[in-house]
């Protein structure tokens, strides 16, 4: 039983990016931005993508009478990042995110400021109880 999954696909992500940028948008607006070539069928494509994103719970829709539906992302960029990292941890690290963290710190060329920020973040966590 073959079944590739990815929660948010390539084209869906392009749509999400527009919503992230603009906050809210109509299908027409998303289409104009995400498909500048302006094919006739692009509108329908975007509509389908928004529909699927809505089924997944990542996008909400506001009905307005006399005006086109207004769409907004319910999953923001950070949310998607967290979600993806979680999935990745489950697949590759038995659920633990620590290996990902280690890999990132090792790989990333962190500037001095980055390192400072990171240290501050950790200190912050130290403060907030959870001192296990």
Partner DNA sequence: TTGGCTTCGAGACATTACGTCTGAGGCTCG
Partner DNA sequence: CGAGCCTCAGACGTAATGTCTCGAAGCCAA
Applying CB under 7 A, which residues contact DNA? 1-6, 9-12, 26-28, 39-45, 47-49, 65-66, 68-69
Q: Which residues pair with 72 in a beta bridge?
A: 24, 60
Of 24, 21, 11, 13, nearest in space to 60 by CA? 24
Which two three-digit tokens encode residue 8?
A: 């948010």
Q: Which stretch binds a copy of itself (CB under 8 A): 32-40, 43-51, 64-72, 81-89?
A: 81-89
Question: Using CA atoms, how far apart are residues 76 and 123, in angstroms rounded to an integer?
Answer: 26
**Closer residue to DNA in complex, CB, 32/110:** 32
**Closer residue to a copy of itself in complex, CB, 28/92:** 92
Over the window 9 to 28, marking each residue x when it contacts a copy of itself by CB under 8 A and - when it does not, the resulting string is: xx--x---------------
Judged by CB under 8 A, does residue 97 bind a copy of itself?
yes
Which one of residues 37, 78, 95, 129 is an interface residue with a copy of itself (CB under 8 A)? Answer: 78
Report residue 80: phi and psi, to 5°.
-65, -40
**Closer residue to DNA in complex, CB, 28/119:** 28
Which two three-digit tokens encode residue 80?
A: 């998607």
Question: What spatial distance separates the first Cα and last Cα of the chain, rounded to whole Å?
Answer: 43
């Amino acid at each position: 039983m073959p079944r590739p999954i990815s929660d948010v696909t390539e084209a869906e992500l392009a749509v999400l990016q527009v919503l992230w940028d603009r906050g809210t948008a109509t299908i027409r607006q998303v289409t104009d931005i995400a498909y500048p070539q302006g094919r006739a069928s692009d509108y329908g494509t975007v509509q389908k993508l928004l529909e699927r994103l809505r089924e997944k719970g990542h996008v909400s829709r506001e009905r307005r009478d006399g005006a086109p539906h207004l769409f907004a992302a319910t999953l923001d960029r950070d949310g998607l990042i967290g979600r993806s990292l979680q999935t990745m941890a489950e697949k590759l690290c038995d659920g633990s995110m620590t290996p990902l963290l280690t890999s990132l710190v090792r790989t990333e060329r962190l500037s001095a400021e980055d390192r400072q920020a990171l240290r501050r973040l950790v200190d912050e966590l130290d403060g907030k109880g959870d001192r296990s």
